Amino acid sequence: MQKAKRNPATIAGYLELHIEQGGRLDAAGIDIGIVTGIVGRTTYEIVFHGQASHSGTTELERRKDALLGASRFICQAYDLWQTDYPEGVFNCGNLIVSPGKFNLIPDQARLTLECRHADKNMLSLMERDLLELAQSEAGVHNITVTSRRVQHMPAAVMTESAVQIVEQVCESMDINYTRLISYAGHDAQMLSGFTPTAMIFIPSVGGASHNPNEYTDWEHVVQGANVLLRSVLLMAQGL
């Protein structure tokens, strides 16, 4: 296994070309996005625990509805994100309810929560506040909640010297560009701590990503490839 090890001094750097996956470049009419950082990402499994009972015979004040607590938490979490962490990202992508019968009050609601932020300290605060919110909402609805961190990927900062190389190339080619943060994870995130790293984004039409509508104009693909090629050649001169 040790034979796969590389000395960082023998590598000029790492450059990655990718569609933006979002709609910022397309909406602004900008040809190239130069990534300055990639968000950190943390995923939690959160389970609200209530008590199953018959929906027709259990009065409101006696109910311990796990789904009610989970749904109220999700709504409050969106408000928290928008007011306190507007530069971050919050998402709840699935919710599994047990027993899952139309006439039974749910005794368990299991959801997966993801939060993202380019600043590691802000991401940590965002996680803390979301978990505290889950506990608070559980208390309001007379239920309990447990949480488990499933995955964590730290935020990555691109190398300023590598970013400047891409900027230099864009200016030499008379291409309009902007610096921006990537809200999706990429290989550059893994390599940024090992070697000088930068990313080049090209526009995604309408911001579509991971669905059949994903599309990038061919002229932007060619332009991005040329920016990548010239950036590689400039970076290689540093070896």
Is the per-residue pLDDT at 46 higher than 60? yes
pLDDT in tens, 175-217: 999 999 999 989 898 889 899 999 999 999 999 888 899 999 9
pLDDT computed for residue 1 by the predictor = 56
Is the per-residue pLDDT at 97 higher than 90? yes
Q: Where in the chain are the domains? A: 2-39+156-236, 40-153
CATH superfamily, with its number, for domain 2-39+156-236:
Zn peptidases (3.40.630.10)
Share of the chain above pLDDT 90, in %: 82
pTM over 0.85: no
pLDDT in tens, 67-76: 999 999 999 9
- pLDDT band at 60; cut points 50, 70, 90: confident
pLDDT computed for residue 159 by the predictor = 95
Pick the CATH number of 40-153 from 1.10.10.10, 3.40.50.300, 3.30.70.360, 2.40.70.10: 3.30.70.360
Higher pLDDT, 45 or 7: 45
Output the average pLDDT for the chain: 93
Q: Say which range, 3-7, 105-109, 194-198, has the weakest mean pLDDT.
A: 3-7
Nearest CA to 198 among 40, 17, 26, 20? 17
